[in-house]
Amino acid sequence: MYGYYGIDYTYLILVVPALIISLIAQFRVKSAFSRYSQERCVSGLTGAETARRILAQNGINDIRIEHIAGDLTDHYSPTEKVIRLSDSVYNAQTIAAVGVAAHECGHAVQYAVGYAPIKLRNAIIPVTNIGSTLSFPLLLIGLLLNFQPLVLVGIALFSLVTLFQLLTLPVEFDASRRALKTIDERGMLTQEEYAGAKKVLSAAAMTYVAALLTSLAQLLRLLLLYGRRRN
């Protein structure tokens, strides 16, 4: 069991660097969001107003916009058809608020136009949920019983989580691309403000890259250690 969960060279050279990158990415997004949450946009648009405009411009009339408590808790729920914007976005007239609200609308537009990667990602959500729930329990049981096939099943289930994170990348990058394009074409922000919104969304996107790297590092480590135990 120590070979899988102890601190060995595979953990140090694979997982630790990925975790450091993840921490840096989280720091960058919080820093960028904090900075541009203090800068009021010339247009005076709030996050909620930004979302309403973008949805209307895309002919989307069946999605609610709601306030949700917290910071960086913004999200789009396709099953409920609602965009939820956080304390620092919903009523805020800032560069960050406009950027984040536009990004969440980008997801709504993806569903409206049938964007393929988001369909594929949604299709594997049920098996991904199973993988995230059962992978490590099966690994532990397999190790305790010294039953290698069960360990391999656990690794395979964990790989589904990695696949989900891989499919998340194009979805998130595309949502930001759509957001920035709309902001620019509709003149919601000045060119200087646009650059700030881009920094916020780019920093946020890097957190998904970091999450994928961490998952890939964990998966590679499990595969290496599984191979070592077999040999």
The H or E element spanning position 75 is strand 75-77
User: In this structure, are residues 14 and 213 in contact, taking their beta carbons and an 8 Å threshold?
Assistant: no
> 84 phi and psi, to 5 degrees?
-110, 125
Query: Edge-to-edge strand order for the sheet containing 82-85?
Result: 64-67, 82-85, 75-77
Report the candidate in 159, 222, 11, 6 with the shortest Cα–Cα distance to residue 230: 222
Q: Is 66 a catalytic residue?
A: no
Instruction: From the candidates 49, 80, 104, 192, give the one annotated as an active-site residue.
Output: 104
DSSP state of 188: -
Amino acid 117 reads P
Using N-to-C axis directions, what is the helix angle for 116-123 and 95-113, rounded to 10°?
80
Give me the active site residues, please.
104
